[in-house]
Chains A and B, each alone.
Chain A
Amino acid sequence: LAKTTQPISMDSYEGQEVNITCSHNNIATNDYITWYQQFPSQGPRFIIQGYKTKVTNEVASLFIPADRKSSTLSLPRVSLSDTAVYYCLVGDDPNAGNNRKLIWGLGTSLAVNP
Chain B
Amino acid sequence: DVKVTQSSRYLVKRTGEKVFLECVQDMDHENMFWYRQDPGLGLRLIYFSYDVKMKEKGDIPEGYSVSREKKERFSLILESASTNQTSMYLCASSYLAGNPEKLFFGSGTQLSVL
Contacts and interface: CB of A to CB of B under 8 A. Distances in A.
Contact of A43 (B58, B99, B100, B107): B107
Interface in B79-109: 90-92, 99-108
Contact of A87 (B4, B43, B106): B43
B45 A105 contact: no
- The number of chain B residues touching the other chain, given as a range, is 20 to 34
A45 B2 CA distance: 12
Interface in B48-100: 58, 90-92, 99-100
A34 interface: yes
A101 B45 contact: yes
Contact of B42 (A34, A87, A91, A101): A87
B41 interface: yes
A89 B101 contact: yes
A49 B43 contact: no
A43 B92 contact: yes
A49 B101 contact: yes
A7 interface: no
Nearest to A4: B42
Interface of B: 4, 40-43, 45, 58, 90-92, 99-108, 110
Give the top 10 A-B pairs by smallest Cβ distance, nearest first: A43-B105, A106-B42, A34-B101, A104-B43, A32-B101, A43-B90, A44-B105, A43-B108, A43-B106, A104-B42
Interface of A: 31-34, 36, 41-46, 49, 87, 89-91, 101-102, 104-107
